[in-house]
Amino acid sequence: MAEAIFDALVAREGFSNLFQTESAGTSDSHEGENYHPQTRRVCADHQFPMKGTSRPVRQEDFQNFDYILAMDESNYRNLKSMDSQGYAKLKIFYFRSFSSDENRTNMNVPDPYYGDAEDFDILFDLLSDCAEGLLKRIRADRGI
């Protein structure tokens, strides 16, 4: 969902040609599967196209991407341990660190996998806020 939201945001801003985004997990347990039905529903409701299927993080991702975003503490630890090239300090961020909510109590994005439709709608709002903050950070970092 975060990838679809970010892609739609950069398209709206006219920056699609400047970004390559891919969603990946820290395990291969769902490799090749389609995204969760509620995730697909929320993105369709907002007319945000989703691309691809589930895939695991690959070693080359640490070289190929400037920002690698963790959704929770477990993802963050796993990504750091997978990073054999030492990029972690420069590239791995909590996605929620880009939230405008200065009162957040933790960096974890809730996982509504077993939740209901409302949980996915709430997640959409949170991820949208984080995506806006991420784009703001990238624009500042890159001067765009």
pLDDT digits (tens, 9 = 90+) for 54-86: 899 999 999 999 999 999 999 999 999 998 888
Q: How confident is the model at residue 53 (pLDDT cuts 50, 70, 90)?
A: confident
Query: What's the CA gap between 115 and 9, in Å, rounded?
Result: 26
* Contact (Cβ atoms closer than 8 angstroms) between residue 2 and residue 130: yes
Fold of 2-142: Rossmann fold (3.40.50)
Give me the pLDDT at residue 26, please: 92
Closest to 90 in 3D by CA, of 116, 71, 117, 63: 63
For 97-144, the pLDDT digits (tens) are: 999 998 888 899 999 888 888 999 999 999 999 999 999 999 999 888
pLDDT confidence of residue 61: 94
pLDDT at 88 over 80: no
Tokens of 113: 């996998």
Provide the residue ranges of all domains of the chain, joining segments of one domain with +. 2-142
* Range scoring the smallest mean pLDDT among 44-48, 51-55, 105-109: 51-55
Give the model's pLDDT for residue 52: 82
